[in-house]
Amino acid sequence: MTYARLIVNPVAGAGRTAKKWPQIMARLQSIGLRFEYDLTEAPGHARELARSAADRGYELVVSVGGDGTINEVVNGLYDAGNIADVMLGIIDTGTGHDYIRTIGIPWAYQEACQCLKSPKKFVVDVGVIEYFVDGQMVKRLFVNFAGLGFDAEIVKATTQKYKALNSTASYLTGLFTALLFYKNKEVTLIVDGEVSERKVCTVLVNNGKYGGGGMLAAPDAELTDGLLDVLIIGDLSKPDLLWSLPRVYKGTHLTHPKVTMKRAKEIEIQSTEAVFLQADGELLGELPTRFYVLPAALNVAV
């Protein structure tokens, strides 16, 4: 049995992964890693390939792509039912690099490849999001963060129009597009059983620290604490939102009077309005939703 199976998303990073892949493959061969690989062909394909790799007993399944690819691969490993027996490797060739910022995997593919040769196991939590699509409840894991409201509208604009730009440029262009049309939402929040009615701009449920291509959204988040960090941005005006945005990149936004951070194991959110959801930068369905944490569920190669 070949030791590693690589799942390569050639369109990740605005197509840059396809250009980098020959060098990555050469690097892996030069360090003597025994591996086989698959190229993804459509959204959702990485999930199928990861499940198949886990079913066939690969010890190391490697995501080559961005945060969305990592998300699909982890969901595929979970689908196989033996996620505890597999290690996830990451060669990040996407635009955002948000998850690996928290986890400590190098950005440069040469160094990330080296991590796979004799990997140390880092056991981390994953989040779960339950939501509705066409009246049916769907469950999906997320490794880094999920969000709703304004945050999901940015993802919608970014993925539909601006994915070809670099991470910060695509995020900011999507942000300004969303800003033109978005209105804050009335929601019911249930955080570990505590109920509150709020008008919110956005709610981010964080496992990792970073999102949106380097925003330090949850400065104190830990991947190993068995908790999710819930960032609630209240009824901000658009000028205040724009004025406060640079603070999120520095992680100094938590002192804003309309910003609340909570830690929780389970969060439910409901609304009478249509409110979109995203997880790891991928647009999902709509509210109502439930988030919870699976402690120590994923083995990452570092």
3-state secondary structure of 208: coil
What is 127-293's CATH number? 2.60.200.40
Contacts of 134 (CB under 8 A, 6+ apart): none
DSSP state of 85: G
Distance of CA 45 to the CA centre of its chain: 17
pLDDT of residue 1: 45
Strands 35-39 and 60-65: unpaired
User: In the chain, what are the domain boundaries?
Assistant: 4-119, 127-293
User: CATH classification of 4-119 is 3.40.720.10, yes or no?
Assistant: no
DSSP string, 87-129: EEEEEE-SS--HHHHHHT--SSHHHHHHHTTSPPEEEEEEEEE
Query: What b/e string do you get for 201-224 counting C-beta neighbours within 10 Å, with b at 16 or more?
Result: bbbbbbbbbbbbbbbbbbbebbbe
What is the reported pTM? 0.93
Whole-number pLDDT of residue 62: 98
Output the pLDDT for position 56. Answer: 95
C-beta of residue 156 within 8 angstroms of C-beta of residue 170: no
Q: Nearest CA to 124 among 219, 217, 220, 222?
A: 222
- Helices 45-55 and 67-80, interaxial angle, to 10°? 40
Average pLDDT for consecutive 10-residue bins of the chain (302 residues)?
Answer: 87 90 97 96 97 96 96 98 96 91 93 93 97 90 95 78 56 77 95 97 96 90 98 94 87 94 98 94 91 98 95
CA distance 17 to 57: 26
What are phi and psi for residue 208, nearest 5 degrees?
-95, 180
Q: Across the chain, how many H-helices and E-strands are there?
A: 8, 15
Cα separation, 93 vs 67, in Å, equals: 9
